[in-house]
Structure 1
Amino acid sequence: MNLRKWMKLFGTTILIGALAAAVTGLCLLVADPEFRVIKADGWLYNIVMMGLSGLTFGAFAHMGFFAYLMLNYIARSIFKRPYLWVALQGFIAVFVLAEIAYWTYGTNFPSNTYWAVPLLLLVLSLIVAWRKVNETTSGAWIPTLFFMVAVTVVEAIPTFRTGNISSLIFQMAPLFVCNAYQIMQLHRILDRAGTLKSAA
């Protein structure tokens, strides 16, 4: 990856974050007119502010993406047998899903949050992983699931402390979209899609 590709990925990611946050925020405003990112009246102003917040979400997701790439590089040098690192990623992904249920059960979140959020996150992550596998190899299943589940949740940890489901959705949705975009672009940026398919 050269500087030009990195800048393009970063720029596109934050723009996607802004768009995803604006769309998510608009949907939340329709469902809950009291939802606000800042204490101000006016839908248009709030949507603009949500879009600006999305730029931050995109930048944060980009930081998480490169943190994962570094972690993956280090872990692959530590674990001499690749399947051990893959198995660990699978275990952590399951653990994080269980942690979501633990964090949200019996809190100010709606009563069904403890199972609905982990289930929805898992289903959407499986869809992204399925697409990734179709474009690369079957070995991408667990790493993609790990990234989409664990990294997204780590990036969204502050909102789990709010007890507000609208705030949780507003932050997690753009982060998930940005992470999905980045993980799907990785093999294209590295020009490995064709090589991986031929090796499968």
Structure 2
Amino acid sequence: MTLKYLIQFYRNTLLIGVIVTYIASLIFGYSKLTKYLIGGELGEFVAASIWFIVVGLLVATISQLSYFIYLFINQLGIGIFGKIWPHVQIIVTVFAIFDLVYFRFLRFGGTDQILSFIWLPIVVIIFALITSNMKNKQSTKNLWIPSMFFMVVMTTVGLIPFLRVEDTSWIYLTIFGLLICNMYQLITLPKYNALSLEERKRKSKTK
């Protein structure tokens, strides 16, 4: 990818992370942001808004790092496991779904609270299924399994710092930004690669 389109790719991912996280903070972060707007405390609202913009940038950055780590892991997995790599991805994906519940349940849950922890993997799976189906339509190859692996496993890895926090609102504030940034990167990377290839061809013709 050329530098021009790499910068666009990064910039758009950051913008998505900020917008989605800020909207989530207005909805789910009432005590941290929205109450200041309703109460007319504009100074506090602006300060809190800046804070959540920074959180959005952090979420997008985690997503970007996760994606490029995934690209490395995928190539490494193909090299080590060969034809059985898709089966390994399925196993790891299943464990990641289980861990989305287990991490928080083990730390904060009780036997009567298990249902309150199940919503998180359900949301991740829904986003993963939608993204995997979209990605699979982009290519003649079957990309469904690696797409599910990325959306579930790498999202879980990105969420680990927030899963360890007892305040559930932080999961609400970060999960949607992380998922949508992951979806955006996975779906749009081929477009940026194609644009980069066209740019290289144009430059080679002018030489």
Aligned residue for 2:139? 136
Unaligned 5+ segments in structure 1 are: 193-200
Instruction: Give % identity.
Output: 24
Amino acid at match of 2:181: C
Q: Is the 8 A contact 2:32 2:48 kept in 1?
A: no
| Matches for 1:23-172 after TM superposition, within 5 Å | 23-29=23-29, 33-35=30-32, 42-81=44-83, 84-105=84-105, 107-108=107-108, 111=113, 112-137=115-140, 139-172=142-175
Q: Deviations over 1:94-123 (max 9, x none)?
A: 110101111122654693232111112111
| Structure 1 CA distance for aligned equivalents of residues 124 and 72 of structure 2 | 24
| Structure 1 CA distance for aligned equivalents of residues 140 and 32 of structure 2 | 42
| Structure 1 CA distance for aligned equivalents of residues 47 and 109 of structure 2 | 27
| Structure 2 CA distance for aligned equivalents of residues 121 and 2 of structure 1 | 32
| Structure 1 CA distance for aligned equivalents of residues 8 and 76 of structure 2 | 25
Amino acid at match of 1:117: L
Aligned residue for 1:187? 190
TM-score, normalised by the number of residues in structure 1: 0.83
1:178 counterpart = 2:175: no
**Residues 95 and 106 of structure 1, relative CA distance in 2, 3 Å threshold:** closer
Give, in angstroms, the shift of residue 191 of structure 1.
3.0
Give, in angstroms, the shift of residue 135 of structure 1.
2.3
| Structure 2 CA distance for aligned equivalents of residues 155 and 113 of structure 1 | 21
Q: Deviations over 1:2-45 (max 9, x none)?
A: 2222221111111111111111111113xxx3236xxx973343
Q: Deviations over 1:71-130 (max 9, x none)?
A: 11222222332xx11111111111101011111226546932321111121112101111
Spell out structure 1 runs of 4+ moving beyond 3 A: 106-110
Classify the secondary structure of the residue corresponding to 2:146.
helix
Give, in angstroms, the shift of residue 155 of structure 1.
0.9
**Residues 3 and 96 of structure 1, relative CA distance in 2, 3 Å threshold:** same
| RMSD, aligned α-carbons | 2.2
Give, in angstroms, the shift of residue 171 of structure 1.
1.7
Give, in angstroms, the shift of residue 62 of structure 1.
0.7
Amino acid at match of 2:20: A
Q: Which range moved further: 44-53 or 106-115?
A: 106-115
Question: Which protein shows a greater Rg?
Answer: 2
